[in-house]
Amino acid sequence: MLPFSRVSIIGLGLIGSSVARAVKAAMPSVRVTGYDAEAHVRERVRDLGFCDDVADTPGTAVIDADLVVLCVPVGAMGSVGEAIRDDLPAEAIVSDVGSSKQSVAEALAAALPG
């Protein structure tokens, strides 16, 4: 049994798209939902098809997610946390690919209920 059935990726640039492709390659039955702040990026991802679903808001992207991977600049982590707070399942695991883990954790702790 796979550890996740639904993975959401917030930020579909180089790193986020690589994460999405890796999940699909390693676990093809996992449903991958992506979101990017840029509409043209979302459209390109739809065209390329490496996400099963592309959401138009960060909150919509995390509904029913088992795992959420934040692939946005470290300075944007707090605002993304706020944007997903109301739709994030309580049991979802949230991780990030930022290089400054302590500041990310502080930003998410401030934004997410707890």
Indicate if the pLDDT at residue 51 is higher than 70. Answer: yes
Indicate if the pLDDT at residue 36 is higher than 70. Answer: yes
Strand 53-54: give its sheet, edge to edge. 53-54, 31-35, 6-10, 67-70, 93-96
- In the numeric block, which tokens belong to residue 108? 């998410």
Query: Is 59 a member of any domain?
Result: yes
Provide the β-strand partners of residue 35: 10
113 or 69: which carries more pLDDT confidence? 69
The model carries a pTM of 0.86
Q: Are 45 and 34 in contact (CB under 8 A)?
A: yes
Indicate if the pLDDT at residue 111 is higher than 80. Answer: no
- Percent of the chain topping pLDDT 90: 81
> DSSP label at 5?
S
Query: Is 56 a member of any domain?
Result: yes
Number of domains in the chain: 1
pLDDT band at 2 (very low <50, low <70, confident <90, very high): confident
Query: Is 1 a member of any domain?
Result: no
Q: Which domain holds residue 43?
A: 6-111
Query: Is 98 a member of any domain?
Result: yes
